[in-house]
Amino acid sequence: MKKENVLITGAAGFLGSHLCDRFIKEGYHVIGMDNLITGDLKNIAHLNSNPDFQFINHDVAKHISIEGDLKYILHFASPASPIDYLKIPIQTLKVSSLGTHNLLGLAKAKNARILVASTSEVYGDPLVHPQTEEYWGNVNPVGPRGVYDEAKRFMEAMTMAYHTYHGLETRIIRIFNTYGPRMRLNDGRVLPAFIGQALRGEDLTMFGDGSQTRSFCYVDDLVEGIYRLLKSDYTQPMNIGNPSEITIKEFGEEIIKLTGTKQKLISLPLPQDDPKQRQPDITKARKILGWEPKVSRAEGLKITYAYFKSLNKDELNKVEHKSFEKYVK
């Protein structure tokens, strides 16, 4: 019996590569697409000889042609960290606008269901806490983070337009902070930054006084939520994340304890428009999908730390601290 085809964009990225693994495990033939602007072929190297995996090096902002049928499309192509979208702002805008338009058109042509990866960043620096799907957000469209935040908000609007006008089967996930193996150590996000600094024997740098909060979801939990949402009948945006909230200062102290580093936490100026609070309300995910996180932060961090420790010295020493300097207050 011929296996059904699934197209996953951003396949060589952190989340995309884990999704490739999951859909192959579920019995699908996976077509992975990535232009490798932030993705890394090492993340999918273990799939090279797998007959159920095919890789296409392509930019989704350009016309997309796929032979044969498609059952599902999962759009996870996008820079996803501040360092990336401050460095490549135009590409960040294009992948979630032109790229989403191309993939929605492909889904329509193939009669495929499409799930697009939105983000908690659509809430901006929120005035509502925790963030529910009904909250419209507090976003600065012309600030340094606007290229990512507004691109994702446009992605949601276009996806819903295709759903309501064309009757296309669409799903929208709003992803909150996620971590695990295959994260880039130098991507500028707090978890790899802290662990990388600890491994290099550097002080851990937090922005501001560390009172801002984040909620961290382990990648396996997120992938399970994505899979359930795709298979569900729910068409409105849905939060998927871990509601266990922690301050950045407390998180830094957890990393110091986990890694056994002798270094200390130091404070740098807060970047412009940095969200002060981030915590998902996952009432809908619990009720509609029967989903909630299973992996504790302590357990997930141990696995992630072991992964980062396994990297070679060249990878460990690739840092891009200076990318933030002109954006701090």
Query: Are 25 and 66 found together in one domain?
Result: yes
Q: What is the mean pLDDT of residues 10-31?
A: 98
Is the pLDDT at 49 greater than 50? The verdict is yes
Is the pLDDT at 28 greater than 80? The verdict is yes
Is the pLDDT at 271 greater than 80? The verdict is no
Q: For the chain, give me the number of helices (H) and strands (E)?
A: 10, 13
Report H helices in the chain: 14-25, 82-87, 89-110, 146-166, 190-200, 219-231, 248-259, 283-284, 297-309, 313-316
Average pLDDT, the chain: 92
3-state class (DSSP) for residue 245: strand
Query: Are 49 and 106 found together in one domain?
Result: yes
Number of domains within the chain:
2
Per-residue pLDDT tens digits for 181-201: 999 988 888 899 999 999 999
Is the pLDDT at 5 greater than 80? The verdict is yes
Query: Are 250 and 105 found together in one domain?
Result: no
> Checking phi first, is residue 167 left (phi over 0); if not, alpha (psi -120 to 50) or beta?
left
Residue 58 lies in a domain: yes
Report H helices in 26-88: 82-87
Per-residue pLDDT tens digits for 166-184: 999 999 999 999 999 999 9
More confident residue, 300 or 189: 300
pTM value is 0.93
Residue 101 lies in a domain: yes
Query: Are 76 and 41 found together in one domain?
Result: yes
Confidence of residue 55 (pLDDT cuts 50, 70, 90): very high
pLDDT of 312:
72
Confidence of residue 325 (pLDDT cuts 50, 70, 90): very low
Count the neighbouring beta carbons within 10 Å of the beta carbon of residue 295: 18
Q: Measured between alpha carbons, how far is residue 243 from residues 45, 47, 192 in Å?
A: 33, 33, 20
Query: Are 173 and 306 found together in one domain?
Result: no
* Residues 6 or more apart whose Cβ sits within 8 Å of residue 197: 203, 204, 205, 263
Q: Measured between alpha carbons, how far is residue 295 from residues 58, 112, 165, 218, 265 in Å?
A: 34, 32, 39, 6, 26
H helix or E strand, kind and range, residue 29: strand 29-34
Residue 303 lies in a domain: yes
| Residue 307 bears catalytic tag | no
Is the pLDDT at 270 greater than 90? The verdict is no
Is the pLDDT at 289 greater than 90? The verdict is yes
Residue 290 lies in a domain: no
CATH number where 253 lies: 3.90.25.10
pLDDT of 185:
85
Query: Are 103 and 252 found together in one domain?
Result: no
pLDDT of 146:
93
pLDDT of 206:
87
Task: Give residue 195's domain range.
Answer: 184-215+243-278+295-321
Residue 60 lies in a domain: yes
Query: Are 12 and 39 found together in one domain?
Result: yes
CATH number where 152 lies: 3.40.50.720
Query: Are 231 and 88 found together in one domain?
Result: yes
Query: Are 316 and 249 found together in one domain?
Result: yes
Query: Are 269 and 231 found together in one domain?
Result: no
H helix or E strand, kind and range, residue 215: strand 213-215
Q: Are strands 245-247 and 213-215 parallel, antiparallel or unpaired?
A: antiparallel
| φ/ψ of residue 63, rounded to 5 | -50, 135
Is the pLDDT at 82 greater than 90? The verdict is no
Is the pLDDT at 153 greater than 60? The verdict is yes
pLDDT of 238:
98
Q: Please give the radius of gyration of the chain, using alpha carbons only, rounded to the nearest integer.
A: 19
Residue 288 lies in a domain: no
Q: What is the mean pLDDT of residues 242-268?
A: 91
pLDDT of 329:
28
Residue 273 and residue 327 in contact, taking contact as beta carbons nearer than 8 Å: no
Query: Are 170 and 193 found together in one domain?
Result: no
Residue 86 lies in a domain: yes
Per-residue pLDDT tens digits for 87-118: 999 999 999 999 999 999 999 999 999 999 99
Confidence of residue 319 (pLDDT cuts 50, 70, 90): low
Catalytic residue, candidates 72, 85, 148, 179: 148
Q: Which of 127, 120, 156, 157 is nearest to 281 (CA)?
A: 120
Q: What is the mean pLDDT of residues 67-95?
A: 93
Q: What is the mean pLDDT of residues 249-265?
A: 91
Query: Are 232 and 247 found together in one domain?
Result: no
More confident residue, 291 or 275: 291
Q: Which of 221, 201, 226 is nearest to 72 (CA)?
A: 226
Residue 191 lies in a domain: yes
DSSP state of 121: G
